[in-house]
Amino acid sequence: MLKKLFGKKEEKVEKEIILAPVTGELVDITEVPDPTFSKKMMGDGIAIKPSKGEFVAPVSGEIVNLFPTKHAIGIKSKAGVEYLLHIGLETVTLEGEGFEAHVKQGDKVTAGDLLVTADLKLIEEKVKTITPFVITSEIEGVDIATNQQVVQGQTEIMTVHVK
């Protein structure tokens, strides 16, 4: 309303910088041993082989979905792009064991805020810990870093070009 009155235009975000959601080894999404992710059925993205069990917000926005099992988090960025952080593969079968959520659906987060802690040793005994991070919205394009060590909340892993 005030923007209309005072003639201020809302600036359109053209790109978003995405930070690593966890510390570990960044790998190409096609290396994920699950076709849902490796064939990009959910969307384009990356995967990380985590070396630490703290998962942080890779972008500022809102938690739009926190699965009851705490293994997957949907985030909608301030630019309106939706992302899915899926901690491990087949982790839904753990029914939340080894996961502790530090956010809830509807929470606003800033890039780097702690989302979930996970007991990687416990999880590795039962399933794979490789963690896909995918873009679930339509976008203009994406530049993705590959095959490097990343630090949660610090290393830039993607530049998303917003529609």
Which residues are the active-site residues?
86
Residue type, 118: A
Integer Rg of the chain from CA = 16
The answer for residues whose C-beta is within 8 angstroms of residue 1's C-beta and 6 or more apart is none
For residue 35, which phi and psi values (nearest 5 degrees)? -60, -25
Q: Report residue 94 as tokens.
A: 């753990």
For residues 20 and 83, what is the distance between their CA atoms, to the nearest angstrom?
13
For residues 72 and 115, what is the distance between their CA atoms, to the nearest angstrom?
10
CB 157 within 8 A of CB 144: yes
Residue type, 68: P
